[in-house]
């Protein structure tokens, strides 16, 4: 089956496509999830939005798919989609759950000339995949709903010179709470997260296995994330919460650990060690090693020569 990709360029176009009244503001809208209508080919389409979508949903009655990943949204949770992300919704043939919740749609132009225009990219969860959605407690959900109600009340009122600033401030509050609740989720899901950390260690050990020198590659954060079926930013945030170091630091520390081990316990040349760790050129390895340890590989090795 060929999956087509449809781009929705404006919030007004989204409303029309979903059978909703035209938005009161062209650059921002809050949509009642239960009122959204789906076209017959809804599940056979990849969607790309030119605007942000922040959603809190219950009873989706289907699965949302990013690439080859999918997640069942029968439970209530939040997820975040940024402009140009590709996603697909696969509705259940016979949905039995009532759909509830809201969608906050915001065009990037709404943030123009505001501080959030420059800082929204700091919120890493816009790059998380659906399987990394935010699960809210009842209390947290009430907090989010209260903020959304404030935004709804403001844009239902007469638009004036203060409206953009007030609504943007509320959106920033919503994002900051989301960041806080994600950090809480990393803590409360430590068992699952520690399993991922164990898998990271296993993958790195396999990459640096001296018995597979001919197949050695230099691991990247993207490579690890793909192997673990998580997004790079989610992996980095998870590792930072568990170990105090991001994914890139984790890889570099493992590289230095293995390099020191081979320099001190084998007779392999610096070039052979560089190749065994996935470096294409020994000069790159030597520069990397010196940047991390403040000494060259040869100088480090001399400490172990009797």
- Give the pLDDT of the chain (306 residues) as one tens digit per residue: 667 888 999 999 999 988 899 998 889 999 998 888 776 666 677 888 999 999 998 765 555 554 444 444 444 688 899 998 887 776 655 555 677 899 999 999 999 888 898 899 899 898 887 667 888 888 899 999 999 999 998 887 767 778 888 999 999 999 999 999 998 888 777 666 778 888 888 888 888 776 654 456 788 999 998 888 888 888 998 888 888 888 999 999 989 998 998 998 888 899 989 988 888 889 999 999 999 999 999 998 888 765
103 and 174 together in one domain = yes
Look-up of token digits 């994002």: 175
Quote the CA–CA distance of 248 and 242 in Å, as a whole number: 14
Same domain? 181 vs 208: no
What's the whole-model pTM score? 0.73
Instruction: Classify 80 as helix, strand or coil.
Output: strand
User: Are both 87 and 182 inside the same structural domain?
Assistant: yes
29/110 same-domain check: yes
- Indicate the residue among 171, 188, 205 that finishes a domain: 188
Q: Which parts of the chain are beta strand (E)? A: 4-8, 28-32, 45-49, 52-58, 62-66, 69-72, 77-81, 86-91, 100-106
Query: Do residues 174 and 273 both lie within one domain?
Result: no
Residues 270 and 229 in one domain: yes
CATH number at residue 215: 1.10.10.60
Q: Which of 158, 188, 218 is the last residue of a domain?
A: 188
Please tell me the number of Cα atoms within 13 Å of 114 on its side-chain side. Answer: 20
Nearest to 53 by CA among 101, 107, 2: 107
| Domain count along the chain | 2
Residues 50 and 150 in one domain: yes
- Asked if 56 and 168 sit in the same domain, the reply is yes
Structural domain including 20 reads 4-188
Residue (of 53, 41, 46, 43) closest to 15 by Cα position = 53
Q: Is the same domain home to 92 and 135?
A: yes
Q: Which of 168, 188, 208 marks a domain boundary?
A: 188
Count other Cβ atoms within 10 Å, centred on residue 80.
23
């Amino acid at each position: 089956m060929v999956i087509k990709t449809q781009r929705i360029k404006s919030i007004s176009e989204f409303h029309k496509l979903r059978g909703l009244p035209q938005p009161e503001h062209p650059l921002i809208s809050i949509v009642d999830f239960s009122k959204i209508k789906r076209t017959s080919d809804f599940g056979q389409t990849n969607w790309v939005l030119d605007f942000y979508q922040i959603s809190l949903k219950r009873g989706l009655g289907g699965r949302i798919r990013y690439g080859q990943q999918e997640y069942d949204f029968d439970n209530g949770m939040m997820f975040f989609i940024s402009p140009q992300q590709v996603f697909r919704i696969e509705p259940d043939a016979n949905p039995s759950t009532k759909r509830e919740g809201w969608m906050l749609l915001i065009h990037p132009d709404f943030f123009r000339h505001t501080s959030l225009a420059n800082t929204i990219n700091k919120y890493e969860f816009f790059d998380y995949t659906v399987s990394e959605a935010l699960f809210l407690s009842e209390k947290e959900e009430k907090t989010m709903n209260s903020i959304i109600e404030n935004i709804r009340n403001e844009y239902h009122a007469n638009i004036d010179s203060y409206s953009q600033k007030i609504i943007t401030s509320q959106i920033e509050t919503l994002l900051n709470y989301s960041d806080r609740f994600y950090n809480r989720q990393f803590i409360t899901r430590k068992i699952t997260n520690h399993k991922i950390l164990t898998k990271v260690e296993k993958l790195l050990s396999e990459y640096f296995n001296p018995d597979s020198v001919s197949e050695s590659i230099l691991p990247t954060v993207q490579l690890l994330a793909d192997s673990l079926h998580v997004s790079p930013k989610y992996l980095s945030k998870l590792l930072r919460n568990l170990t105090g170091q991001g994914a890139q630091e984790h890889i570099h520390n493992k590289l230095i650990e293995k390099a020191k081990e081979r320099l001190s316990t084998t007779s392999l040349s610096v070039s052979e060690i560089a190749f065994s760790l996935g470096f294409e050129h020994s000069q790159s390895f030597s520069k990397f090693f010196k940047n991390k340890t403040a000494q060259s590989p040869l100088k480090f090795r001399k400490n172990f020569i009797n």
